[in-house]
Amino acid sequence: MQSLGHLEFALKLPQWASLREGDSPADACPSQPGTARLVTAAIDQIMSVAPTKLIHIGADEVFTLGTCKVCRGRNTAPLQLYVEHVSKIARHVKSQWGARVLIWDDMLRHAPTTLLHTLAGLVEPTVWAYGPDVTRMVPPYILRTYAAVFPNVWVAPAFKGATGPRALMPDAARHAANTLAWIEVGRRMKSYSGLSVAGIIITGWSRYDHFAVLCELLPPSTPSLVLSLLTASRGYLTPATLHDVHALLDCPSHVVIDPARDPHLWASRNCAFPGANVASLLHSYISLRDDIRRMMKEAEETGGWLTKYNIDHNFSPPKRIREATVDLRRLTFGLSDLREEALGVLSQYHDTATVSEWIEQHLVPLNLTLTNLAQTTERLLSVSTWPRRPLDWLPSGGA
């Protein structure tokens, strides 16, 4: 349950808009008593339905912290406001529910040690970095500081998300390298700095934030998850690990699971794990999308007979139009088949809202492109005589 930033799912609504730090619907103002009331009420609801001994209260990426008029009027450093707010929430969780409280660590990376000490008994930082070189984002001196202040920290790689807000299949090679890097850094920092790593949290995002479109879906990300889990639990990644991934994903013998040569593990679409049919759907989608893009690029950019100019002036000969759109029929049928496949396959794993959202974000734009091209083609083909040159000047576009 987020407790200060990333609260746009609540702050976007009119009843909580007044709690925003500024014009960002993501960040709440720590100076308004309503913020802690909203967050603790949400935590209480979650804990009463799903009691737990460990709760993560987020608190990361509070980009506009301390910038509102009320906060500035308090003459208190933004990080001090942050620590006071997080402490208030953590104390509530501890007294009401007796649970351990985790937060993301990024807001603490440049905090003075004295401030960190006030959080020491209250929260356990989860140190996140999602690239293969985690110390670039979290240099060892930060981990040494945490080791000196906090009895426990957690480390966090990701198995999906974090590589692009519109990614379709996780880069399993990158995510496994990220997981391995955390295992190694954790081990090293434990022996050199006494860092106590309580555990590893392998996150997987389905969107970058509440307003973003979908990124990698869970079912086709199973191979990346399995690879990261095996890497994390064993502490190394060897051919034997890949052999076990192959077996766990129920792959036939001809399928090769090799992140070095196939970073997204597309080969896994031919295995039998639940979700392989979504990977197969995505593979077909990418191939069709790329064919459509190629056709449109040829029509609009490379070719000389179906550009915006030709279309605006209804000025192109039938032979050239047919050449430029020779694949249009095949691609239109292909898209229609893919839509049926998407409805059938995605509905096995996702609710109607997610299935509709995926189709709207991926297939509807392609359909619009093809429909527009079909209509344009039909119109241009209906013309059989053309005006003399020079053609009329149509600075704002023609038909």
Residues that bind Zn ion (CB under 5 A): 21, 29, 31, 68, 70-71
Shortest reach from residue 43's CB to Zn ion, in Å: 21
Fill in the amino acid letter for 3.
S
Long-range contacts of 292-296 (CB under 8 A, 24+ apart): 292/331, 292/335, 292/366, 292/369, 292/370, 295/324, 295/325, 295/327, 295/328, 295/331, 296/369, 296/373
Q: Which is nearer to Zn ion, 70 or 394 (CB)?
A: 70
Shortest reach from residue 146's CB to Zn ion, in Å: 27
Using DSSP's 3-state secondary structure scheme, residue 217 falls into coil
Shortest reach from residue 197's CB to Zn ion, in Å: 34
Shortest reach from residue 70's CB to Zn ion, in Å: 5
| Exposed e or buried b per residue across 336-361, where buried means at least 16 C-beta atoms within 10 angstroms of its C-beta | eebbeebeebbeebbeeebbebbbee
Phi, psi of 160 (to 5 degrees): -155, 160
Cβ atoms of 99 and 83 within 8 Å: the answer is no
Cis peptide, bond prior to residue 390, ω within 30 of zero: yes
Instruction: Determine whether 61 is an active site residue.
Output: yes
Nearest in space to 357 (alpha carbons), one of 245, 175, 170, 212: 212
Q: Which is nearer to Zn ion, 21 or 60 (CB)?
A: 21
Q: Which is nearer to Zn ion, 73 or 239 (CB)?
A: 73
Q: Which is nearer to Zn ion, 68 or 173 (CB)?
A: 68
Catalytic residue, chosen from 8, 21, 61, 323, is: 61
Question: Which amino acids are annotated catalytic?
Answer: 61
